Structure 1
Amino acid sequence: MGLLISSFVILVAVAASNIIAKYIPGISRTYINLAVGVLVGLMPMTNHLVLGFNDNVFMILILAPLLFFEGQTTPLLTVRKKVKSIVGTAVILAVLSAVLVAIVIHKTFNLIIPVALIIVAISTPTDATAFDSVVEGRKISQPLKNNLKMESLFNDATGIILLQAATLWLSTGHLSLWGNVTAFLVSAIGGIVVGSILAFAFMAFRQYFVRSTNNVISSQTLIYILTPFCIYFLAEKLGVSGIIAVVSAGLVHNSEANRSRFSSPRQMHLGLQMINFANEVLNSFVFVVLGISLERIFFSRYNIMISSLKWLAVGIVVYVLLLGCRYVYARFFIGDKRRLTASLFALGGVHGTVTLAMTFSIGGDIARSTFHFIIIVETVVIILSMLVPTIVFKFVLPIDADEQNRADQLQRLRHEMVIVGINQVKSMTLTAEVSASVIYDLRDQTQKNTLKSFYRQWRAVTSNKAMLTGLQSVEERRALMHAFDAERQYLYTLAKRHMVSSDYVYEIYSEILLSESLVLDPKNQMI
């Protein structure tokens, strides 16, 4: 019951913060999510309703589906082409920088080497979602963005293995290098194998029913939703990386979607909408949770923090050294070896809730005072990794003017398109009632109908005053079809003459097709 209430409060915070973000276009939505999370933590009324951070629950219920959906949006062919780059950034860079930085902070701050390695291992995983938030509204090269995304998808496993090795070293007093290397290979390769096999089994099962007369979309959708949870759970039970398993499963499902999208269009459309919805909600959920957690960490450990600033110095040094390692690696091993590209790659190593989840996962394995110290250090690393690139990118990256003007351009196109559709309706011989109803519906495509006019229409329909006869309903449907056809033809002409971006045309064109499906498809109609 506590988990249900806690999730409800966080989801309300997600909905509220995403709405607030629309009114503050100059600030990334991620920071609004963080701020609302902090506010939820500060308010006693809501704070006591949200349970304490549980790394297992977070990994299974939030991170597993999020990584599965992110993997599904990545073509498997892209991963195959970038295997060398992925191994370089997610394994070699992660391990070498962890060892180097651990030794430096061990020497500098007189921390025992296992604790130093724990701190750096937790700081290893990067977060593609957090990176997107700090680069929002700025232009950055797609190859670099792809490198950072591939790194973040696969370096979680490296960080977890390093953390397990360091924790074991701290508790036993010795480090088994060969054993840890073996464990890493088993975990990573096993995760890929288990994830791929299970994903293929789920895919074959669903595809069998998709291509038969016994297909049930509701059952298929449930199986699809449960897939990442099942794969993560089974992979962890088998002793391999659940994170790598769900990412691999997502990659397999990407290829499935490309070659089966027309076998059951309703099911495919529902699946795509679910992916988009889940990605948006889960990403916001992650940062609201991060905001709540950071607020609790700060206030619960306030006395420790003000008694000594060693935690701050360690956090800053860890972040700066990791930044330096990433910069050096990029200068020598990434295709584009320019200083700017290397700097962007270094700053692109943003940390988020995976780092927080790994921090809380060691709470029962080490001394409480050490655990508190590590939590505060990792908080500094997370905040710096988000704050520094946000500031620097505003000076070194150009504004993405196309993205900034996108909403205005789309609205202008919709307005012109609707005028064409209305003119088509006015040229037809229709009854006054049908003409008024169709024009009202067309104007809704640009949200130009006022709230007052909506209430008037709603009241008329509710009182049966605006209900059309059977023949008028057929007439209305045909009028809408002619209007939509005119709108599509207008957009096609603009695209053919290269007068507007094809991306804009495709986006609005797809909206018209969806609107038309609401008119024609019996399963999409409310009445």
Structure 2
Amino acid sequence: MNLILSAGVVIAAAVIGIMLQRHLLHAIPINYINVFLGMSLALIPISNHAVVAFHSELFMGIVVAPLLFFEGMETRFHLVAKKWKQILSLTIIMVLACYVVAGFAAHAVGIMSMPLAFILAAISTPTDATASDAVSDGLVIPKKERTYLKLESLFNDASGLILLNTAILWYVNGYINFTQTLTNFLYSAVGGVIVGFLVAMVLILIRQSILHMDSIRNNPSYNGTPALVIFMATPFFIYYLAEAIHVSGIIAVVCAGLMHNAEAERSRLTNPRLITNSNVVTELFTEIMNGIVFVMLGVVLVRITRHNEAIHSPGAWLFVGMVLYLGNVLVRLVYSKFVMKMDWHASWVFALGGVHGAVTFALAYMVAETAVKRTDFEMVLMAEAVLIILSLLVPTIVFRFILPKEADTHEIQQKINYFRKAMVKHAIDRINQIYLPDELKRQIIFDLRAQMGQTTLRHFIYAFRKTLRQPDMNAAETNTLEMAYRLAFQEEREYLSTISQQEERFMPIVSHLYSEILMAEIVILED
């Protein structure tokens, strides 16, 4: 019960963050809003009590695993196959370089042992593509750098986890077993790839066999719920299965996501309703889960300052956190310039774009479940918190000076509004040209005006009250109204087709409005 209440409170905070950013605080990246909301939850006694203690393994399985799965789904397998050398370079060689440089740099500060320094370094290696998108909101990251940042973030989480386990064994035993480390790495990584691809293929075949049954394909009432349930359960099932046999669950869910990208591409028309529902659910789930990550970060940032001895000597963990961040940025800068052969501008974008988020956060908390001393764990938490905050703040500021801005969204919105009004006006004119009973005509014209935003709350209340008193339509009236809607939507499509033939630059706007018409038609036809 406590877990359900906690989930409800955190989800509510994430939803509030989304609403605030979209409707009031457009200029502030949503990650900062969610961190602030999380800190507010932790500072208010009632809400702080409602949110249960953070559990890293639960967080990895319930939040991080599906996020990585859906990120993998946004990446084509062909791209990964084409860039496999660069992926290995970034997620193994560069990660090892960051690990070594950050580890020795943290040890050089002179306040911790070498094993503890490398625990900190291992936790600092994973990056978060979603967090990178947040700090570049409203700006354009060049395609090459954006691709490398995304591919790196998909696969370097597993490297960070394996390096962390190695460093913890070093801390506990006092030595590193290089043979065992290499064997564990290969078993975990290769095993994760095999489990991810094989299990995903089995689940895909099961789902596709369901969708290709004649009794289902020809059943107009089938909404694809069983296949959708299998799809949503996939990342959880694969992650925990992989972890149960001690291979990388993170790599497994990413590989499964790549396979599902190909499945979605080749089954769009097998059951369009299912694909539409899957896309809507995935987008909603991903947005809320990303919000939960930073809400929980805000909660934890407040909680770790309570009963924490390290908080009384901030100079140590502040300096170590800065050293970790600078070490990672320096390695990323040099590596992208001299190994990846990027120019200096691209190298800086790539170096600063390696933002730390969910996985760094979870790995830091995993240390608490090991034999690491309490005081050392507190140092890890505080230093990694500094690392995460710096990785968010620095690019948020610097990118404003080195990246171009996106096209003026206000101007785009004005054009969308202009064309939407014009296409709806054509539809209304067409409806006025045909015979319809007055009540049906008023109903369809009200809906069309609502489509272009020309109805107010007062209009809605009037129509709402009238609908409450209106009896059900008979079959003839229903068919007449449906035909009128189809005629209106057809008129709108013809207008957009004319516009697209006149000006190619309007194609993105036309595509956006065309999809609106299709969704509206689905709503009407399925009502």
Match of 1:267 in 2: 274
For residue 280 of structure 1, what is the aligned residue in structure 2? 287
Unaligned runs of 5+ in 2: 217-221
Q: For residues 121-520 of structure 1, what are the structure 2 equivalents within 5 Å? A: 121-215=122-216, 217-301=224-308, 304-335=310-341, 337-365=342-370, 366-403=372-409, 405-464=411-470, 468-498=473-503, 500-520=505-525
CA distance in 1 between partners of 2:202 and 2:29 (Å): 39
Q: Which deviations, in whole Å up to 9, do the C-alpha atoms of 1:250-300 show, x marking residues without a partner? A: 101111111111112222221122211111111112111112112222344
Shift of 1:381: 0.1
Question: Quick one: structure 1 residues 308 and 34, their matched pair in 2 at CA, closer, same or farther if it must change by over 3 Å?
Answer: closer
Q: Distance in 2 between matches of 1:429 and 1:14?
A: 49
Asked if the contact 2:105–2:324 (Cα under 8 Å) also holds between the matched residues in 1, the reply is no
1:52-98 deviation digits (Å, cap 9, x = unpaired): 11111111111111111111111100111111111111111001120
Q: Which amino acid aligns with 1:75?
A: R
Q: Is the 8 A contact 2:109 2:320 kept in 1?
A: no
Match of residue 34 from structure 1: 35
The residue type equivalent to 2:490 in the other structure is D
- Rate the CA distance shift 1:307–1:105 in 2: closer, same or farther, 3 A: closer
Amino acid at match of 1:378: E
Partner of 1:18: 18
Relative distance call for 1:404 and 1:391 in structure 2 (3 A) is: farther
Q: 2:310, 2:317 within 8 Å by CA — same for their partners in 1? A: no
Is the contact between residue 28 and residue 133 of structure 1 (CA under 8 Å) also seen in structure 2? yes
Q: Shift of residue 431 of structure 1? A: 2.4
Q: CA deviation at 1:172?
A: 0.5
Deviation at 1:16, TM superposition (A): 1.2
1:24 partner SS: coil
Tell me, in whole angstroms, the C-alpha distance in 1 between the residues paired with 2:84 and 2:185. Answer: 17
Distance 2:113 2:192 in 1: 32
Q: For each residue in 1:105-133, what CA deviation from the matched residue of structure 2 results, as whole angstroms up to 9, or x when unmatched?
A: 21232421110100010010000010000
1:53-92 pair list within 5 angstroms: 53-92=54-93
Cα distance, 1:17 vs. partner?
1.3
Alpha-carbon offset, residue 454 of structure 1: 1.1
**Separation in structure 2 between the aligned mates of residue 48 and residue 344 of structure 1, nearest angstrom:** 41
In structure 2, distance between residues paired with 1:294 and 1:503: 42
Q: Is the 8 A contact 1:10 1:289 kept in 2?
A: yes
Secondary structure of 1:363's counterpart equals helix
Superposed displacement of residue 447, structure 1: 3.0
Q: Provide the rounded CA distance (Å) in 1 between the counterparts of 2:13 and 2:109.
A: 42
Kept in 2: contact 1:137–1:404 (CA 8 A): no
Find the aligned partners of 2:434 and 2:209 in 1 and give their Cα distance. Answer: 47
Report how far residue 159 of structure 1 moved. Answer: 0.2
Separation in structure 1 between the aligned mates of residue 434 and residue 408 of structure 2, nearest angstrom: 38
Quick one: distance in 1 between partners of 2:518 and 2:183?
Answer: 53
Paired residue secondary structure (1:125): coil
| TM-score of the two chains, using structure 1 as the length reference | 0.95
Kept in 2, the 8 Å contact 1:297–1:375? The answer is yes
| Aligned residues between the structures | 519
Structure 1 residue aligned with 2:9: 9
**Larger deviation: 39-48 or 118-127?**
39-48
- 1:469 Cα shift? 4.7
Q: What's the TM-score, normalizing by structure 2?
A: 0.95
Residue equivalent to 2:219: none
Q: What SS class does the counterpart of residue 514 from structure 1 fall into? A: helix
Call closer, same or farther: CA 1:151–1:403 in 2, change over 3 Å: farther
Contact 1:494 1:500 survives alignment (8 Å): no
Note if contact 2:135-2:396 (Cα within 8 Å) is conserved in structure 1: yes
Q: Kindly, what percent of the aligned residue pairs are identical?
A: 37
CA-CA distance at 1:167 after TM superposition: 0.1
Moved more, 326-335 or 148-157: 326-335
> In the alignment, residue 190 of structure 2 is paired with which amino acid?
I
Q: 1:278 to 1:172 in 2, by over 3 A?
A: same
Do 2:38 and 2:297's aligned partners in 1 also have CA atoms closer than 8 Å?
yes
| CA distance in 2 between partners of 1:413 and 1:290 (Å) | 43
CA contact (8 A) 2:13 2:37 kept: yes
Read off the aligned partner of 1:209 and give its amino acid letter. I
Residue of structure 2 in register with 1:117 after alignment: 118
Contact 2:64-2:358 within 8 A present in 1 as well:
no
User: Which amino acid in structure 2 is aligned with residue 4 of structure 1?
Assistant: I
153-162 vs 108-117, which moves further: 108-117
